Every structure is written in C-alpha cells, then in structure tokens.
Amino acid sequence: MNKVAEIINQIIYQQFNQNVEVNLTRPRPEFGDFATNIAMVLAGKIGKKPHDIAEILKKELENNDLFDSIDIAGPGFINFKVSAKHLSEILDKEFNDRFGSNNEGEGKLAVIDYPSPNMAKPYSVGHLRPGNQGWAAKQLLEFTGWKVITDNHLGDYGTPFGIWVVGFKRFSSEEKLASRGVYELGDVYIKTKAAIKEQGEDSEIMKEAEKWLLKLEQGDEEAVAFSKMFNEISLKHIHDVMNRLKISTDYEYGEAFYAPMGKEAVQKLLDNNVAVQNEDGSIIVPLEEYGFDVPLLVQKSNGAALYATNDLATLLFREKEFAPDKVIYSVGAEQQFYFSQVFAMAKKLGIKTDLYHLWFGVIDQLNEDGTREKMSSRKGVVLMEELLDKAEEKARKVVEGRPDVTEDDIKKISLGAIKFSDFASDRRTNILFDWDNIFALTGFSGPYVQYSAVRVNNILRKERDFSVVDFKSYDFEEEKQVILHLLEFPNVVKVAARDMEPHKIAKYLYDLAREMNRYYEKTRVSDSNDIDKSARLQLLKKVSQTFQNGLNLLGIEIPDRM
C-alpha cells in the first residue's frame, strides 16, 4: 500500500510539482483494489478541474505495469486494480517481524500515567479501563518509535488516608487485617464513609480523619507507621492483580511522594502571584484567561493538600526529571473538567509539554429488565480478582472437552476476552460488559480473533516439516483479499497511535479474522499441491505475525490451543 502511494506521489511531483500526501482507501471489490480522491485535493492547490487532473494521473499510471486497470469515477475519484502477484511482491518487501511499526515518534519521549488505583482498598473493575487503555497507549507509541516511561500514580495520600486510620481504630484490628488484608481495609473504608454520611461532613469522625492526614504530612511517627502498613498490604495486592492483567509500569511515584513538593510548589505560585490566597486561607489559581470561571483550588483552608496540589508537583517533577514531549493521563471521562483545569494551570506556568487526557467511558452492565447501568457492587462483580476468576470459569466452559487446552491457554482466553471487550468501540463511549458476548466464538469478541490466530498457527505447526518449493509461478489471486488486508495494517497502526484509538486495531483484527474464515471456505492449504502449498504457507506466516503484532498492541496473548 505504501508502494502504491509512493508511485502516485512521484507522478504528482513530476506532473504538478506538488508534495502532497496520497491517502488510499479500499472501495468495494467490484470497483477496484484502491481508490483516491487526490485529484480533488490537488484541484484546490493548482487551479485545475479534478477530472482533468485525474485524466493526467490515469495516463501516467497506465504506463506502470504495477496497475492492471485505472478508472475515473465521479468528478475525480480514481479507482485502480493491482495484480495479486504485484501485491504479494509489495507485501514481501514491506514485511518483517515488526510489520506495522514505524518511526514517526523517533527521538520523542512520552510519560503515561496508569492505572493509578487507590491504596488500602481492593483493586476494582473501575480501574480495568485505565490499565487497558494506558497499556495499549504504551504499546502503540513504542511500536511507532516513541520512548515511553510509565508511572503508576498511586492514590496513597489525601483525606482517604485519615478515613482508613479512623476506621481501622474504630472497626478493625490487627488480627482482622492479618487475616483479610486489603479486603479488610476496603470494608473499613466503606463502614467509615457510611458513618461520616450519617453524622455529616462536619462530624467528629471527619475532623479526626483530617487530623490524621495533617499528622502524616508533619511526619508523625504513628501516622507514618499506619501509612507504611497500609501501603505494604495494598501494594502486594495491586501488583498481584496487575500481574494477572499482564500490565506493569516503570515507576510508582504515589501521591505521598509528591506531597512535600506540592506544598513547596503552591508557595512558589503565591510568591510569583500565579496563585491567590483567599480570606479563609485556601489557595486558588485563577484561570479566567483560559476560559474558566471557576479557579483551581490547590490547597485547603486548613493547609491540607488536594489532588491538584499533588498533580501540580507531578507536572513539575516530570518536567525536571524526564523532560517529556508528551504526558498521557489514562483516566475516566468524569475527570475531563478537572484535567482541563490542570492543563490550563500548566500553560499558565509556561509548561510546553503536550498534556493529553486519554479519557474513556464507564463500564455498563445489563439489568434484569434489559436496561443498562454502570457496573456496581449492588449488581454483581466489582472487584477485579472476582472478575478475573469468573472470566477464567467462563473460558473453561468455552474449551470444555478439550484436554489439550492448558491452564495457561485458559488464562490467555479469559483475559483476552475481557481486554478485547474494552476495545470493542471508541474508548469515549461506555462499554457494555456482557458475559455471553465477550466470550462468543462468533462475532466481535476476543476469543473469535484469538481462535482465528490459533487456527493459522495450527496449520503452520502441522506443516512445519514441509519443504518449501519454488512458487514464483503462483499468481496469488485466491489470496488477493487477504494480502490487501495485510497491507492496510501499517496505516491502521499509524492512525491508531496518532489518535490514541486502540479500538481501530481491534476492528482491524476482527476484519482479518473474518477475511481468513472466508479464505478457508474456498481455499485448501494442507492438501494442495506443493507449489500452491508453499505459497500459501508463506502468506499464512505473515498472517500469523500480523495477528501477533496486533494483539500485542492490545495486551492480548495468543493461546497455543483453543
């Protein structure tokens, strides 16, 4: 596909002295293999009619033996067909183990912030999407030449810390904590929040919780000991879940790490007249010049830190420590306004780094009456470990009666189903978590795509001892649609990375799986003659590698058996 665009680019430069990007699309097969509207794009630049430009391009393209036919449609669309043999040769030249990758981000550095769960409470389904989307962003950027640093911005500070201490003292014990770990801390938090709601935000419990936060900020020995105890329990749990999700980060600079820097940064903002102290002692950063009537609160009236305090410190630390070209925050849609304020504050401070909020919708589930509602504890599974356990149970049923499928295969199938469902549509939409659909072996699902990849690999495994013969005479006409689809992959990766839209990779892989199913319906591989088999096996190796590269971008592994 790049070769085709390159030839058209050369002709355009020779005929019109213009450097323009030629975008190729795939029309319906009866119209051609590729189409372009470049004649209409050029018309506005050089003052000629699109149809006249298309005629000139058609005449030049007909002189190149790469093209079988060229047709002009409408005011200036150009449709053309390329022989399957030529397409196969183009694919051979472009293909390697990192097929689809590019160097668009070479020399650039990105910091990606994910999954950033809160400490001292069980890892919830609410952090499934931050982890999945953040990991996919990392994979996409690295595959397109970026250097990537990842940071798990742990919620190990703030008012919740005080709530856990107060709750632990009132509702729990060291024995319970030793027995139930993070799940005990989760229950303590819920009980304490319920007590605060019952008694009001100005209750003694809330005041006591805020005192504990201040104690921690002041380095109080007992507060520090509580923080250390909660963190050790929480981190083990978080790491266990992240390992099951097959995600990791380079750093884990939690909010507690940034807290001292946050206070210093706020003071500097005051000293430089960027921030303003209100009569009650609270400190704000006015943002009217960036269209915000509401200022950003960076410190409470009692001197306590806020999310914005720590995010200010985080911005400044990353600038100094990493000097990134881009910082990506993988955080849900509900934080859009907050991050737009934080980014405006960064501009006010003169920070030039591209700050990007990789936001996404919530996870919905179906009620008994068929309506959709955000997944919650009242309706079933919300803890990540429970979700993963249930997914593995579902996967076992999918492969029931298959003794050759290993426990490792089952884990890959279950996790693949969950992750693929996250990329089923544009990340900005809410996703519907439906157990039957995400484990379906037909339709838009992880197992469907994984099964297609496994099927290709099984054929290659079965034929690994086959001696390849010379297949130069093979015309590849039966494989043409598969080859055309493979040639699309590099551009799909390019667009998905540019727009931070991994769902485009998922859609591509699903379409490739469908194309392979159509191919198997009309074409034999293992029981064909040696020339045909040799050609087809070489193409299947490319299909296998493309499945592997694409699924890897989504954090999904291919099982050995299924």
**CATH, residue 476:** 1.10.730.10
pLDDT of residue 119: 85
The DSSP call for residue 525 is S
Per-residue pLDDT tens for 78-104? Answer: 999 999 999 999 999 999 999 999 999
Nearest 10 degrees: CA dihedral of 485, 489, 492, 497?
Answer: 170
Q: Does residue 514 lie in a domain region?
A: yes
Is the per-residue pLDDT at 74 higher than 60? Answer: yes
Tell me which of 21, 49, 82 is where a domain ends. Answer: 82
Q: Does residue 269 lie in a domain region?
A: no
CA distance 455 to 448: 11
Q: With contact defined as beta carbons under 8 Å apart, do 87 and 483 qualify?
A: yes
Query: Which residues, listed in sequence order, are joined to residue 251 by a DSSP beta bridge?
Result: 151
CA distance 290 to 288: 5
pLDDT of residue 491: 93
Q: Domain range for residue 68?
A: 2-82
Q: What is the mean pLDDT of residues 244-269?
A: 94
Chain-centroid distance of CA 83 in Å reads: 36
Contacts 24+ apart (CB under 8 A), 286-294: 287/341, 287/344, 287/345, 287/348, 289/348, 290/344, 290/347, 290/348, 291/344, 292/340, 292/341, 292/344, 294/341
Q: Name the 3-class secondary structure at 231.
A: helix
CA distance 256 to 371: 41
pLDDT band, residue 135 (cuts 50/70/90): very high
Q: With contact defined as beta carbons under 8 Å apart, do 78 and 54 qualify?
A: yes
pLDDT of residue 441: 82
Per-residue pLDDT tens for 141-192? Answer: 999 999 999 999 998 877 788 999 999 999 999 999 999 999 999 899 999 9
CA distance 122 to 276: 38
Per-residue pLDDT tens for 279-313? Answer: 999 999 999 999 999 999 999 998 888 899 999 99
The b-or-e profile of 331-353 (16+ CB within 10 A means b, else e) is bbeeeeeebbbbbbbbebbebeb
Q: Does residue 151 lie in a domain region?
A: no
pLDDT band, residue 44 (cuts 50/70/90): confident
Q: Does residue 36 lie in a domain region?
A: yes
Is the per-residue pLDDT at 374 higher than 90? Answer: no
372 Cβ contact partners less than 8 Å away, ≥ 6 residues apart: 364, 365, 366, 430, 432
Q: With contact defined as beta carbons under 8 Å apart, do 95 and 136 qualify?
A: no
CA distance 4 to 472: 22
Rounded to 5 degrees, what angle do the CA atoms 380, 446, 422 make?
55
Q: Which two tokens stand for residue 345?
A: 């504050």
Tokens 């989307």: give the residue. Answer: 133
Per-residue pLDDT tens for 421-434? Answer: 999 899 999 988 88
Is the per-residue pLDDT at 201 higher than 80? Answer: no
Q: Does residue 435 lie in a domain region?
A: yes
Q: With contact defined as beta carbons under 8 Å apart, do 80 and 71 qualify?
A: yes
Q: With contact defined as beta carbons under 8 Å apart, do 449 and 551 qualify?
A: yes
**Which amino acid does the sequence have at 373?**
E
What is the residue-averaged pLDDT of the chain? 93
Q: Does residue 309 lie in a domain region?
A: no
What is the side-by-side strand order in the sheet with 67-73?
34-36, 77-82, 67-73
**CATH, residue 21:** 3.30.1360.70
Contacts 24+ apart (CB under 8 A), 4-12: 4/34, 4/66, 4/82, 4/90, 7/61, 7/64, 7/66, 8/36, 8/38, 8/57, 8/61, 11/57, 11/60, 11/61, 12/38, 12/42, 12/57
CA distance 115 to 135: 9
Rounded to 5 degrees, what angle do the CA atoms 229, 255, 271 make?
135
Is the per-residue pLDDT at 415 higher than 60? Answer: yes
Q: With contact defined as beta carbons under 8 Å apart, do 522 and 452 qualify?
A: no
CA distance 277 to 283: 4
Per-residue pLDDT tens for 216-250? Answer: 888 899 999 998 999 899 999 999 999 999 999 99
Reply yes or no: is the peptide bond before residue 490 cis, omega within 30 of 0.
no
Work out whether strand 431-432 and strand 363-366 pair parallel, antiparallel, or are unpaired. Answer: parallel
Chain-centroid distance of CA 304 in Å reads: 34
Burial (CB count within 10 angstroms: exposed 0-12, middle 13-18, buried 19+), residue 409: buried
Q: With contact defined as beta carbons under 8 Å apart, do 223 and 165 qualify?
A: yes
Is the per-residue pLDDT at 70 higher than 80? Answer: yes
The DSSP call for residue 122 is P
pLDDT of residue 325: 98
pLDDT of residue 1: 60
Handedness of CA 488, 493, 499, 501 (dihedral sign): positive
Q: Does residue 145 lie in a domain region?
A: no
3 Cβ contact partners less than 8 Å away, ≥ 6 residues apart: 66, 90, 93, 94
Q: Does residue 443 lie in a domain region?
A: yes
Tell me which of 51, 82, 113 is where a domain ends. Answer: 82
Tell me which of 66, 82, 98 is where a domain ends. Answer: 82
Chain-centroid distance of CA 212 in Å reads: 37
Provide the domain count of the chain. Answer: 2
